[in-house]
Amino acid sequence: MIEACDSAIIRGAELLRNGKLVVFPTETVYGLGANALDGQAVAGIFEAKGRPQFNPLIVHVSQAKEAEEYVEFSEMAKVAAMHFWPGPLTMILPRKKGCRVSELCSAGLSTLAVRVPAHDIAQKFLKETGVPVAAPSANRSGSISPTLPILAAESLGESVDLILAGGPCTVGLESTVLDLSGKQPVVLRPGAITAEQIEEVLCVPVGYDFGEKIDKPKSPGQLLRHYAPSIPVRLKAVDVEAGEALLAFGSTQFMAMKGGGFAHNLPETAFKNLSEQGDLIEAASNLFAYLHLLDCPEHKAIAVMDIPEQGLGIAMNDRLRRAAKGAGSQKNGLK
């Protein structure tokens, strides 16, 4: 932990650019930051938080103009940004085509959460990094969001590379999460900015959806819609059937095709390896991007090799089980 003076901010920004995890203050709560362009760094966030699930993350930038590089701004989003940024508002917007932010930040969804925090140190830090910064609250999964640097340190311990200490957070409550990717604006998580304030500015009704109906949320604002491929997903595959694509993990030397032949001879469009070395961090960083790549109608299904139920493998398996359950149904309309 280090006082967030200019030289500490420069050091933190350099660490973050190089794939390390850096805790920084915002006006709401302390954030656990990683370079959002670096999938392995983003996977490191989930490992450090000990989250058994991949929830999508908020990407922080120092000004709206930078967010425009990654997401589509509707007229409404522009108005909201003008009024509430910098500040405790997070907007969910459609990812732009070719968006370079790791798909793990979106947990496979076609949207991305973006926010421009108002805190002085956060602003300096984000400008200095020069990259979008993915940051959930800086606590281990299951504990409360830290509003003091010492609370982040106690919660995350050795799993972060640097904590920039900047005193207590003034708002002390997480940002309002506003979904502007659908027809009507919807607040997915209440926060410092109220739906009434947003209505006043946007001049349209703003709904609330805390998701109680869809799933049993463990915490307010937990994302309840999940990415599901449009074709079936077959888990713990030990061979590949004709017409299937293979999502591999580890060595595929002995992975056979059912009718004869070896899986590693599949065309590139039907074969992706999450991590040849069996590295769970690398695998997690590739999971959603590879599912998207293999999710095309030419394939009968996606066969997924077994992934160990440990570390990030727990979150990966959770997501794969949901994908297998929801696959082909298109009911969530998120594709």
My answer on whether omega of the bond before 86 falls inside 30° of 0, hence cis, is yes
Task: Name the site residues for ligand TXA (rule: CB under 6 A).
Answer: 26, 28-29, 31, 55-58, 90, 92, 106, 109, 111-113, 115, 135-137, 174-175, 177, 188-189, 221-223
Instruction: Name 8's bridge partners.
Output: none
CB of 144 to Mg ion, least distance (A): 9
CB of 90 to ligand TXA, least distance (A): 5
Residue 137 touches Mg ion, criterion: CB under 5 A = yes
76 is in the binding site of which of ligand TXA, Mg ion, none (Cβ under 5 to 8 A by kind)?
A: none
Residue 187: which of 97, 293, 318, 80 has the closest Cα? Answer: 80
Cα end-to-end distance, the chain, whole Å: 42
Residue 102 touches Mg ion, criterion: CB under 5 A = no
Q: Tell me which residues in 1-60 interact with Mg ion (CB under 5 A).
A: none
Nearest position to Mg ion, beta carbon: 137
Of 26 and 137, the one with the shorter C-beta distance to Mg ion is 137
CB of 280 to ligand TXA, least distance (A): 20
Residue 90 touches Mg ion, criterion: CB under 5 A = no
Of 152 and 327, the one with the shorter C-beta distance to ligand TXA is 152
223 is in the binding site of which of ligand TXA, Mg ion, none (Cβ under 5 to 8 A by kind)?
A: ligand TXA
Q: Cβ(58)–Cβ(115) under 8 Å?
A: yes
102 is in the binding site of which of ligand TXA, Mg ion, none (Cβ under 5 to 8 A by kind)?
A: none
Contact partners, residue 219, CB within 8 Å, separation at least 6: none
Q: Cβ(24)–Cβ(32) under 8 Å?
A: no
CB of 79 to ligand TXA, least distance (A): 20
Q: Got the DSSP string for 16-64?
A: HHTT--EEE--SSS-EEEEETT-HHHHHHHHHHHT-SS----EEE-SSH
Of 72 and 239, the one with the shorter C-beta distance to ligand TXA is 72
Q: Tell me which residues in 211-270 interact with Mg ion (CB under 5 A).
A: none
CB of 134 to Mg ion, least distance (A): 13
Measure the CA–CA gap between 58 and 172, rounded to whole angstroms. 17
Instruction: Name 189's bridge partners.
Output: 177
Contact partners, residue 236, CB within 8 Å, separation at least 6: 304, 305, 306
- Residue numbers of the site for Mg ion (CB under 5 A)? 137
